[in-house]
Chains A and B, each alone.
Chain A
Amino acid sequence: MLQKQEKVLLLRTFRGRTLRIVREHYLRACVPCHSPLCARPAACSHDGKLLSSDLTHYVIPDWKVVQDYLEIFEFPELKGIIFMQTACQAVQHQRGRRQYNKLRSLLRDARHDCILFANEFQELCYLPRERGEALEKWQTRSIYKAAVWYYHHCGDRVPIVMVTEDAEAIQKYGSETQGVFVISFKDYLDNFWPDLKAAHELCESILQSRRERESESQESHGREYSEHLPLEVLEAGIKSGRYVQGTLNVNKHRAQTEAFVRLQGASSKDSGLTSDILIHGTKARNRAIHGDVVVVELLPKGEWKGRTGALCDNDSEDKTSSEAPSEPMPTGRVVGILQKNWRDYVVTFPSKEEVQSQGRNPQKILVTPWDYRIPKIRISTQQAETLQDFRVIVRIDSWESTSVYPNGHFVCVLGRIGDLEGEIATILVENSISVVPFSEAQLCEMPVNTPEKPWKVSPEEERKRRDLRRTHLVFSIDPKGCEDVDDALSVRTLNNGNLELGVHIADVTHFVALNSYTDVEARTRATTYYLADRRYDMLPSVLSADLCSLLGGVDRYAVSVTWELDKASYEIKKVWYGRTIIRSAYKLFYEAAQELLHGNFGIADEIPEFKNSDEKGRQARLEELAWAIGKLTDIARHVRARRNRCGALELEGVEIRVQLDDKKNIHDLIPKQPLEVHETVAECMILANHWVARKIWESFPHQALLRQHPPPHQEFFAELRECARAKGFCIDTRSNKTLADSLDKAEDPSDPIVNQLLRSMATQAMSNALYFSTGSCTEKEFHHYGLALDKYTHFTSPIRRYSDIVVHRLLMAAISKDKKMEIKENLLSNKDLEELCRHINNRNRAAQHSQKQSTELFQCMYFKDKDPDTEERCISDGVIYSIRTNGVLVFIPRFGIKGAAYLKNKDGLVMCCGPDSRLEWKPGSLQRFQDKITSTTTGGESLTLHLFDHVTVRISVQASRCHADTIGLEIISSKPYRVQSSELSHLSPLVLKSELVRDVTRCAEEAQLAQEGQVDGIREEYQEYRQTKGRSLYVLLEEIRDLALLDVSGDYGI
């Protein structure tokens, strides 16, 4: 009774191959026609709904008409509609599930006079598709044939109107069969339903929007985005150079329009592209999300666009479009995504009013991610109202080409908007930092050190390790009150008159075995996270603050590097690496060490080790210690000089100096220069790192973990050179040496901030220092540009960096290799190490970002409660450090804030100078020059701001519901701000910063207190979470050096 047919389909597989598939297709004689006029109702066996019997005609829409005008067929006035199966399938395949479901519910609706006729299963209606016939043509042909059959089936009693948009079909079939009319949809409405106003209007608007869509994108078949190409095609395209591969970076300040693709690996060499590729608009971005690895096709040169130079917020999108963009740069569009980088996103639900305006489906809600660079996400939830005031985590599930926004789902709630803990949690999640407390299993692995059961050096270890407890004078220098001492120093004279310098680092790997729970946890954390008011340790505190901390007067395991130096020239004669046992004699702080260096022994009273000792022995011991510090400083000076000769940059140090002191008038409180001891300690650490790097590289040339700092691109220095020229300096950026020299010379005696800003610009132009595995780079690439060393690694802080732990293991393996012993632990292969390096680099970046974001959060919370118009603290002195088309970028030294200040506001008014140098908004125009910006009002007044001008700015907070609050700056006077209060000016910025943190923490705490009324519990919490006040300055130096190498705040509007 069934008739078997075979359909041959040519499908494309996911890998891009064509596949010939044969599918069966069964035809039958009786397909229900759902018409009351049916000639053989018994055979047709109607069940379900029938068309009404009092119709003047039946209408059969073409597939195209069903796709485009389905909404019009929803009018109940239109009756006797027969949807052909062919048309329905066309909707299903080409218009997606949503429209198909609409059609289905229409068909199911008993009130609506329409039916589906399964023409493709009717033996007389079915038409096989001919070879080479276009799908559209075949669909029209099938529908026409079915219409004719239907007409005859109903005994030629009811005329049938087939509506189609295909002019050719009208031409061809128009007069083929009597009783079956083929006309266009417009004609149909005009002739049969001239009175149905609403339908005509709808038809118009559909036509309109379709025209718009077509003009927008001719090739995309009604989809929002074009399909991604299959992987095989992409790979072949990359190989042949037709496509380029890179990581997508969305511009934070113009997330809607601008994104850049940073080229990766080989593709950049072949294509000869030097700059990034611009991806303009979301259409060209084609569903890629910030961070994805994408494949890009370059557009022809004629369609290249330039980046916008003006400052803008994300809120005012089209504002800048009228302005002339800069020079065109390579522009492309995304054709495929190789690797999706979807993570958890923190989002905010729209407020009540917005929900209502969003419309029809209350369960589908568009939520706004905290990160500007992430598009809005559509999620379906019933709890939209209850979650309104919370920060919430969502995940993206999919992003179909038919959807404007990605689909996601709700995961969990983080905390209230504006609440300190909630916002901190947001920052952590956004940086993918997970800091759950250490688990039982991890803590069980830890050695015990309690008063009842004190930890002791085991005799077995004593035999294996070199004992330095009696032979060496070991001491540590750290800031006051520091708990985690991971480095100690020693220096002594050998019998042959040479000197022996030693750097002793806490032996963390002794306690943390490879692949133990603690190790795995430390590896995922990769670093200790320092936020503005708290820190999250990489290792449990029993290690970081106790057993691995080289405290004074107790035995500790260490990994030591000692150098034998020539007594006169300080030439390095011999190096020794190994595991040792040390007992630090003194735990000094920087100031004390500095005093001892100057021969001022009065400070000794403040050193606990000297407190209760008799006068005689004390003098001798003090002298011994002072000699050691002096010798150490001497050596460090020497080593530094050697490094400087190779062109080591002093960017970071200066950056710190600025952070520490920029108030010229407070000599007595904060010294202008940091203590020399700081540099001494830092230099010893760099020396140790360098020698360890050499050692592990020699032993394992293909699998050593080193740290590289690639030389910067010259073109990034362009801005720095321009700015320096404006001030009359010449910056030579050809090598690190010339750069360092010319930066030293570019000192404006009247304004130290100029030099500081130039240095920060230079830092910004540089690339980041990165960990890498030696097996995956050539030896030339090992170079550390900033330190001017051929090999460098991190070895000296295993307590707070995982890379150091890896280096420790490598060093231990290298030592056993020298002794021809078997290497116990399995070393990571080059590939695994490379993977690990990528992870650590990634985590470091997250650590820096989170630190910066938390600082910004605190700044904002600090200024939030202050009324910018009245509060004196909100007005401050600022320096212009960059000029943009509609504003300037300002640096506020007092708070360390960088931000944008507009000279032209959203109404098109410009700043101009009023009486008593106050500024006001007036209509006018702006003109931008290389080193200055001039606003001219229509009244003829003008105001010119130069680069490095000091201005008075008002700091306010721009609150934002969905995103982080930002600091807004407004120039209120073109004169420098005079500091009136002498009391304020006495505070150094660092002090101010920590004060700020304390202030905000206290506020948050008080709010909590008021809420809960549990005083004691919170006190404890406060104690627990508060930052340990003194971190070693070396730690700070290192951190800010890293931070300085990646200063993201500077890229306003770039």
Chain B
Amino acid sequence: MAGLELLSDQGYRVDGRRAGELRKIQARMGVFAQADGSAYIEQGNTKALAVVYGPHEIRGSRSRALPDRALVNCQYSSATFSTGERKRRPHGDRKSCEMGLQLRQTFEAAILTQLHPRSQIDIYVQVLQADGGTYAACVNAATLAVLDAGIPMRDFVCACSAGFVDGTALADLSHVEEAAGGPQLALALLPASGQIALLEMDARLHEDHLECVLEAAAQAARDVHTLLDRVVRQHVHEASILLGD
């Protein structure tokens, strides 16, 4: 059997999208009543749930408290049923820890932590189904959850992945495309300012191509922002109706 053709001559990807097109994004805020903020997002078949607690007092060892800003604590886990073959450990493995660190870096850059010195903000993210672009889905879910909790941020953080196949940059990779083994780049963007909160790539890519891949990812992140903005407005609209404004 011949290998999968990631991008056909006609410009279609395996799942029928074109190079720059995103997968279908659906999101909801305020899914849990107990948490300070929560959100659920589907990006294609990648599904993630984010919950935010805080800002609150430092839990555990007080020595961790930062005098000038809030501590952002992120935990990532992925459900055992999230992948094609059942996973053994839902969290605590190397990959989860790394993901947690990346999320923390991303949100430390976005949240105005100096407003809440000596306090803590917890962000818990769980992936229910992994079908490519888990980092992006987690960041987008967490953004909505942080917004839902009412924690002040500089801007939305919108993330998206991008890959590179046959001289073309592909936005928002699915699992099939990721598994094919090409270079993959993850980008978290603050869309209004165009500042980059996190940029990660761990494959080899020629310098000449980096710009176009980066541009594809940034454009996709801006598209995500449009969608998330719509979700937030919708949520606020619904909430205000309930409050009887």
Contact = CB atoms under 8 A, between A and B. Distances in A.
Interface in A94-115: 94, 96-97, 100, 104, 107-108
A24 interface: yes
Interface in A3-48: 4, 6, 13, 19-28, 32
Contact of B16 (A22, A27, A100, A104): A27
Given A93-B1, A100-B2, A24 B9 contact: no
Interface in B172-196: 174, 176
A24 B45 contact: yes
Contact of B24 (A4, A104, A116, A121): A4
B12 interface: yes
Nearest to B132: A24
A24 B174 contact: yes
Nearest to A28: B16
A11 to B, nearest CB: 9
Contacts of B14: 23
Nearest to B17: A26
Interface residues of A, number: 28
Given A22-B45, A100-B2, A107 B9 contact: yes
Contact of B21 (A2, A100, A120): A2
Contact of A92 (B2, B12, B131, B176): B2
Contacts of A24: 15, 23-24, 44-45, 131, 174
A118 interface: yes
A742 B12 CA distance: 81
A23 B84 contact: no
B10 interface: yes
Interface string A960-982: 00000000000000000000000
Contact of B15 (A25, A93, A96, A97): A25
B1 A121 contact: no
Interface centre among B15, B16, B44, B85 (most CB of A within 10 A): B16
A19 to B, nearest CB: 5
A118 B10 contact: yes
A96 B8 CA distance: 16
Interface in A108-149: 108, 116, 118, 120-121
A23 B2 contact: no
Contacts of A13: 85
Contacts of A25: 15-16
Interface in A63-109: 92-94, 96-97, 100, 104, 107-108
Contacts of A121: 12, 16
B68 interface: no
Most chain B beta-carbon contacts within 10 A, residue among A2, A20, A100: A2
Interface string B28-63: 000000000000000011000000000000000000
A2 B10 contact: no
Given A2-B21, A118-B12, A121-B12, A96 B45 contact: no
A26 B16 contact: yes
B166 to A, nearest CB: 13
A100 B2 CA distance: 9
A26 to B, nearest CB: 4
Of A24, A26, A97, most buried by chain B (CB within 10 Å of CB) is: A24
Given A24-B23, A24-B44, A107-B9, A93 B2 contact: yes
Contacts of A28: 16
Given A4-B24, A24-B45, A93-B2, A19 B12 contact: no
A1034 to B, nearest CB: 59
A10 to B, nearest CB: 11
A21 B10 contact: no
A97 B9 CA distance: 15
B5 interface: yes
Given A24-B23, A104-B9, A2 B17 contact: yes
A6 B2 CA distance: 23
Q: Is the interface of B mostly helix, strand, loop or mixed?
A: loop
A92 B24 contact: no
A121 B176 CA distance: 17
B92 to A, nearest CB: 25
A21 B15 contact: no
A13 B84 CA distance: 11
B2 to A, nearest CB: 4
Contacts of B174: 23-24
Interface in B99-123: none
Contacts of A27: 16
Given A24-B23, A24-B44, A100-B2, A108 B17 contact: no
A259 B84 CA distance: 42
A19 B15 contact: no
A19 B9 contact: no
Contacts of A104: 9
Contacts of B84: 19-21
A108 B9 contact: yes
Given A2-B24, A19-B84, A22-B45, A116 B10 contact: yes
Nearest to A120: B16
Contacts of B8: 118
Interface string B128-148: 000100000000000000000
A27 B21 CA distance: 12
B2 A96 contact: yes
Nearest to A121: B16
Contacts of A21: 84
A87 B21 CA distance: 25
Interface string B144-183: 0000000000000000000000000000001010000000
A92 B5 contact: yes
Nearest to B13: A26
Contacts of B2: 92-93, 96-97, 100
A519 B224 CA distance: 64
A4 B44 CA distance: 8
A233 to B, nearest CB: 18
Nearest to B21: A2
Interface string B60-86: 000000000000000000000000110
Contacts of B21: 2, 26
A24 B10 CA distance: 19
Nearest to A89: B5
Count chain A CB atoms within 10 A of each CB in B8, B9, B10, B131 and give the residue with the most: B10
A20 B10 CA distance: 29
Nearest to A91: B2
Contacts of A23: 14-15, 45, 174, 176
A118 B15 CA distance: 12
B18 to A, nearest CB: 9
Contacts of B24: 2, 4, 24, 26
A24 B47 CA distance: 13
B48 to A, nearest CB: 16
A13 B85 CA distance: 10
A108 B10 CA distance: 10
A6 B42 CA distance: 14
Contacts of B45: 6, 22-24
A206 to B, nearest CB: 21
B10 A19 contact: no
A515 to B, nearest CB: 34
B118 to A, nearest CB: 45
A28 B21 CA distance: 12
A94 B1 CA distance: 6
Interface of B: 1-3, 5, 8-10, 12, 14-17, 21, 23-24, 44-45, 84-85, 131, 174, 176
19 contacts: A2-B24, A6-B45, A13-B85, A23-B15, A23-B45, A23-B174, A24-B23, A24-B44, A26-B15, A26-B24, A27-B16, A28-B16, A32-B10, A93-B2, A96-B1, A96-B2, A100-B2, A120-B16, A121-B16
Given A13-B85, A26-B24, A93-B2, 12 more contacts: A2-B21, A19-B85, A23-B174, A24-B23, A25-B16, A26-B21, A92-B5, A100-B2, A108-B9, A116-B9, A118-B16, A120-B16
Which A-B residue pairs are the 6 nearest by beta carbons? A26-B16, A121-B16, A97-B2, A4-B24, A24-B15, A24-B44
